[in-house]
Amino acid sequence: MVESVLGSDLPPLGQLRWQCRRGMLELDYILIGFLDQHYPELPVEDKHLFVRMLDFEDQLLLDWVMGNVVPSDTNIRRLVGLMQKELKTT
């Protein structure tokens, strides 16, 4: 059954999983890994932030996570930092 989050406007997990499918293998690994292992435990506001992140271009997302570019939005910078930390320890 497709999961949904009652009481919020977050997209169902199936939709997020599909939107984590990208044009680069590196992003597939990073985004799907984060969705499976960390997204469920995030506070609601960070879940919304992750959903918003998925709308950005592939190249920019990769540059953020690889540390080539620092996001100007402080909240996204914080989430990217969390992703980098988790990815390097898993």
d(CA 87, CA 90): 5
- Continuous H helices in 1-90: 13-19, 25-37, 44-53, 58-66, 74-89
Applying CB under 8 A, among 5, 18, 40, 73 the residue interacting with another protein is: 18
In the range 47-66, which residues lie near another protein by CB under 8 A? 57-59, 65-66
Q: Does 87 bind another protein (CB under 8 A)?
A: yes
- The C-alpha atoms of residue 37 and residue 47 are separated, in whole angstroms, by 13
Give contact residues for another protein (rule: CB under 8 A).
1-2, 12, 14-15, 17-19, 21-30, 32, 57-59, 65-68, 84, 87-88, 90
